[in-house]
Structure 1
Amino acid sequence: MSASEGSSGHSADAPAKRKDKAKVSRTSLILWHTHQNDAAAVKKLLEEDQSLVHARDYDNRTPLHVASLHGWIDVAKCLIEYGADVNAQDRWKNTPLADAEGAKKHSMVELLKMYDGVSFGQDGSHSEPKPVLPPLSNKCDWEIDPVELDFTNSHIVGKGSFGEIIRASWRGTPVAVKRILPSLSDDRFVIQDFRHEVNLLVKLRHPNIVQFLGAVTEKKPLMLITEFLRGGDLHQCLKEKGALNPTTAINFALDIARGMAYMHTEPNVIIHRDLKPRNVLLVNSNADHLKVGDFGLSKLIRVQNSHDVYKMTGETGSYRYMAPEVFKHRKYDKKVDVYSFAMILYQMLEGDPPLSNYEPYEAAKCAAEGLRPIFKSKYYTPELRELTEHCWDADMNKRPSFLEILKRLEKIKEKMGTDHHWNIFTS
C-alpha cells in the first residue's frame, strides 16, 4: 500500500473514531442524568438520539437498571416511553425488576410489572461487582475465639474510620488485630467490606505478603488477625531516615515487586488499589525484609484474558500515590499498582514524598494532568530512572508488569555489585 493510500485510510477513520468517542460521552451522560433523577435532561438526550435508551455501562447496565435501583419513577416512565427494554439483563443477568425488588422500591416494582417486567438474577446487583468468591468453607480452620486474644499489654498502632489496629497476643504470639468499631459492627456495608478482606487474605501465602492468621466473624466486635511485624511501616522508616542508600532501596523494591507479582498472577488477580508506604511493613527493626499489607481496598478479579479492564470505584486509595486513571474515574486494571510502586521507589531514593510541594489531593490532580516528580537524587542511574518513568507512564498499557519489573531490578542490582559508581554509596 502506498503512503498516500495509508494517509487517506487514516483520515477516513478519524470521523468514525470521533463519532465513537461522542457516542461514549453521550452514553455516560444519559447514565449520569438518570442517576441524578433528572428526567428533563434524560428526555432531552432521548429527543436528540433515541438509541441512547439502550446505552450500556461497563457492567452492561442500562439507564432503566439505574432508575429502577434508585426508584426514580419519572425517569423510568420516560425511558419506557422511548422504548427501553424492560427485561434487559446486566452482567449478573439482573433485569431492572430484579434491581427494584432487591432495593425494595415497591412503586418501581409495580410500574415494571405493568410493562411485563420479569425478575432474573440476584434480585439487585448494584453498581459494583459482588465479591467473586462465595462464603469460605472450613471456617473452623481460621475462626478465632476472641477469648484467645490477650489485650493485657496491648497498644494501638493505627486508627481508621472503621476501626483500629491493635498489637495484642494470640496463643502467646504477638499479633496485629484489626478491630471494627462496635458501633459499626451491624453496618451492612462495613460487614461486607470486612468479609471481603477476609476472603482475600485467607488465600494469600507469600513471604512478601503479611500473613493472615484468622478472624472473629461470629461474635462482636469483628476482628481480623495477622502476624505482627516489629519494624513498623515504610512511611515511618522514610520519615525517620530520609533517602535510603541504593542497595536498601533496590532490595526493598524487589520485596514489594515480589509480593505484587504474586498478587497479580492470573487467573485470580488481586489489585491492591492502595499501595503506599504506610501499607508496606518492615519485618523487624533491622529493616532487611518487607511485606505488603492492608488489603481493605483490594479487589479480587477473576480474569478472562490478560487485557481485561474494569470500571471500579473512582478515587480509591490515597491521593499522593494514586494512578491518574483512578483519579479521573476512568476504567483501569492492575497497572494502577505499578504506578503506585513507581511513586514509592521514587520516595525511597529521594527521601521526600512524590510531588511533596503539593497537598495530596493537588498532587493527584497535577499527576492526572501529566505532572511527574523531578529526579534530584544522585542515586538514580539511567536504568533506574527509565524503569521509574515506565512505571508511572500516563498510559497504563505502557507500564511494565511486576514480573518484568523484577527482571529489570535484578539486573540493576547485579550492576550495583560490579559498578564502582555505586560503591561510594553502599560502603
Structure 2
Amino acid sequence: MMDLKTTEEIGGAMIAEKSDCKESSTGSKLKGTGSLSNKDKIFRADKIDLKSLDIQLEKHLSRVWSRNMDSQRPKEEWEIDLSKLDIKHVVAHGTYGTVYQGTYDNQDVAVKVLDWGEDGIATTAETAALRASFRQEVAVWHKLDNPNVTKFIGASMGTSNLKLPTQSLPLAGDRFPTRACCVVVEYLPGGTLKQYLIRNRRKKLAFKIVIQLALDLSRGLSYLHSQKIVHRDVKSENMLLDAHRTLKIADFGVARVEAQNLREMTGETGTLGYMAPEVLDGKPYNRRCDVYSFGICLWEIYCCDMPYPDLSFAEVSSAVVRQNLRPEIPRCCPSSLANIMRKCWDANAEKRPDMDEVVKMLEAIDTSRGGGMIPEDQTPVCFCFSNVRGP
C-alpha cells in the first residue's frame, strides 16, 4: 500500500488537520491542541492530481511486475554470471547504448550496455522497442560461430546490479537506469574498419591487404546468409579488426532472420550511403541488400575514402534511387575488382551475385602484380618505363 508521504508528493494534496485547525461559525480559526496521527488527517479531493497519481502508480506496478517476471522465468542459455564480469572503461557511445572494455572470466571483452527503458527515461513504446531489439540481437548472435563474425560471449537481461565504472556515470542531474541489459562479446583491439581506413587515407592500402579485408567481409556475410540471416547495416563502422588485422562482422542490432515473405522485410533500415535502392525506396528486399552494401564497402576499402562526401542525405537518397548514383571508381582500379563492385551494386537486386559467388571472384584475383590505389600526391607515369602501379 502506498504510504501517506508518497501520496502527498504525487498528488500534491492539501491536508487539513482536523484537531489542529478548526474553523468557527463566524469563520475565525481556533487553534487546537495535541499531536496528530495519520488517521486524523484528511485530503481535499479537488486538490489531488489524479492523472499524475495514475501515471506514477502505473510505472511503479510495471517495475514490480517486470522484476517478478524476471525472478520467475528460467535462466536463458546465453545469460552470463555477473560476478565474473569486470567492466573497466568506456570505449564508445552510440545511439542505443554505451560500449565498455572489460574482462569476463579473465577474458578480454567488449560490453554493450543498453538503457532498459525504465525509471521514466523512455516511453512505453521505446521500452518495448529496446527490449525487442535486445532479444533480437541476442537471439541472432549467440548461435553464430565463424572466424569472420565477432564471437558472442553472453548477455544479461534487465539486471539491477551491473557494476559500471564511476567515471562513466551520467553528469549531475541526469538519471542512470536502475536496470540495464548488456551484451558481452570478444574484445577486438584493432578498432573499427572505418578507423583503420581513415588512418590510411593518405597512403592507401597495399592491394593484398585490400583483397584480404574484402575476403574476410565477404566470407562473414556469406556465412550469415547461409544461416538465413540478413545483417541490414553492412558498413565499415560495423566491422572490427583483431590484433592480426582479421576483419570480423559486429553489431547485430538490426539483423534478423530472413523472412519467407519478402514483403515482411520493408522499411528504411541501415545507413544512408550504404543502403540499397530498394531499401531506400521502401520496397521489399532480401539478403541481396547486404550484397549492395558490400559493394560500397569494397570501394571504400580500396579508396580509403567515404562515399558521397559532398552530398546531403536527401541528395544521396534521391540520386541512388532515381539517377543510379554510385561512387566513382578510380581509373587505376584493376578491372577484376571494379567488375565486382559494379555487379554488387547493380540497381536490379536479382542481378547481384550471392556472397558465396563474390568470395570465389575475390579468391580468383591475382595480387602478385600490385594494383593498389595510387595516393593523390603521387603522379602516375608511363607503364613502359615504370614498375607496376600501386603498392
Corresponding residue number in structure 2 for 1:179: 113
Partner of 2:180: 221
C-alpha distance 164-381 of structure 1, shift in aligned 2 (>3 A): same
Q: Secondary structure at the match of 1:281?
A: strand
Match of 2:4 in 1: none
The verdict on how the C-alpha distance between 1:377 and 1:150 changes in structure 2, with shifts beyond 3 A counting, is farther
**2:257 corresponds to which residue?**
300
Q: What's 1:291 paired with?
A: 248
Tell me the CA shift for residue 372 of structure 1. Answer: 1.2
Which of the pair has the greater relative contact order for Cα pairs under 8 Å at 6+ separation?
2
What's the offset of the Cα at 1:190?
Answer: 0.7
8 A contact 1:336–1:396 mirrored in 2 = yes
Which one of the candidate residues 187, 205, 210 is aligned to 1:249? 210
In structure 2, the residue matched to 1:371 is: 325
Aligned equivalents of 1:297 and 1:140: distance in 2? 21
Aligned residue number for residue 351 of structure 1:
304
- Deviation of 1:426 (Å): 6.8
CA gap 1:336/1:420 in 2 versus in 1, 3 angstroms: closer
Structure 1 distance, partners of 2:264, 2:220, is 24
Match of 1:324 in 2: 277
Partner amino acid for 1:258?
Answer: R
Q: 1:402 aligns with which of 347, 355, 379?
A: 355
Contact persistence 2:231–2:256 (CA under 8 A): yes
> Could you tell me the TM-score, scaled by structure 2's length?
0.66
Amino acid at match of 1:217: M
Distance 1:395 1:280 in 2: 26
**Structure 2 counterpart of 1:274, from 215, 226, 233:** 233
The whole-number CA distance in structure 2 between the counterparts of 1:234 and 1:190 is 27
In structure 2, the residue matched to 1:416 is: 367
- Contact 1:233 1:279 survives alignment (8 Å): yes
- Match among 70, 73, 82 for residue 146 of structure 1: 82
Structure 1: distance between partners of 2:371 and 2:270: 37
Aligned pairs (5 A) from 1:13-92: none
On the 8 A contact 1:349/1:377 being kept in 2, the answer is no
Instruction: Please name the residue that 1:88 is paired with.
Output: none
- In structure 2, the gaps of 5 or more residues are 1-72, 160-178, 373-386
Question: Is the CA contact 1:143–1:215 (under 8 Å) kept in the aligned structure 2?
Answer: yes
1:99-110 alignment runs, 5 A limit:
none
Q: Distance in 1 between matches of 2:104 and 2:314?
A: 39
TM-score, with structure 1 as normaliser: 0.61
Q: Using a 3 Å threshold, how does the CA distance of structure 1 residues 421 and 223 change in structure 2: closer, same or farther?
A: closer
Cα displacement string for residues 249-298 of structure 1 (whole angstroms, at most 9, x for unaligned residues): 11100000101001111xx41000000000010012x52x1000100001
Output the CA distance in 2 between the equivalents of 1:253 and 1:236. Answer: 16
Q: What is the identity, as a one-letter code, of the residue corresponding to 1:396?
A: A
Corresponding residue to 1:165 among 94, 99, 102: 99
SS at match of 1:232: coil
Question: SS of the residue aligned with 2:190?
Answer: coil
**Greater Cα shift, 310-319 or 401-410:** 310-319
CA distance in 1, matches of 2:328, 2:233: 23
Deviation at 1:318, TM superposition (A): 0.5
| Residue pair 1:233, 1:280 contacting (<8 A) in 2 also | yes
SS of 1:325's equivalent? helix
Q: Give the number of the structure whose alpha-carbon radius of gyration is greater.
A: 2
Distance of aligned partners of 1:302 and 1:360 in 2 relative to their CA distance in 1, 3 Å threshold = closer
Q: Which residue of 2 aligns with 1:156?
A: 90
Is the CA contact (8 Å cut-off) linking 2:207 and 2:371 kept in structure 1? no
Cα distance, 1:425 vs structure 2: 5.6
Q: Which residue of structure 2 lines up, in the alignment, with residue 113 of structure 1? A: none
Of 110, 114, 131, the match for 1:191:
131
Shift of 1:342: 0.5
Number of matched residues?
Answer: 277
- Please say if residues 273 and 316 of structure 2, whose CA atoms lie closer than 8 Å, have aligned partners that are also in contact: yes
Shift of 1:377: 5.3
Which of 346, 368, 376 lines up with 1:393 in the alignment? 346
Amino acid at match of 1:416: T
User: Residue 150 of structure 1: CA displacement?
Assistant: 0.9
- 1:283–1:290 contact (8 Å) kept in structure 2: yes
How many angstroms apart in 2 are the aligned matches of 1:276 and 1:173? 27
Deviation, 1:365, is: 2.7
Aligned to 2:110, the other structure's residue is in SS state: strand
**1:233 equivalenced with 2:192 (yes/no):** yes
Instruction: Say whether the 8 Å CA contact 2:99–2:112 is kept in structure 1.
Output: yes
What's the CA shift string for 1:95-128, capped at 9, x where partnerless?
xxxxxxxxxxxxxxxxxxxxxxxxxxxxxxxxxx
Residue by residue over 1:366-396, the C-alpha shift from the partner in whole angstroms, topping out at 9 and shown as x without a partner, is 2122111111252x11111111101000000
Aligned to 2:381: none
Residues 194-234 of structure 1 show CA distances to partners (whole Å, capped at 9, x for unaligned) of: 00110001110100000100000252311111101000001
Determine which structure has the larger helix proportion and give its number: 1
1:358 Cα deviation from its structure 2 partner = 1.3
| Equivalent residue letter for 2:210 | A
Distance 1:349 1:340 in 2: 14
Identity of aligned residues (%): 34
Shift in Å, 1:330:
0.4
Task: Quote how far apart the aligned CAs of 1:355 are.
Answer: 1.8
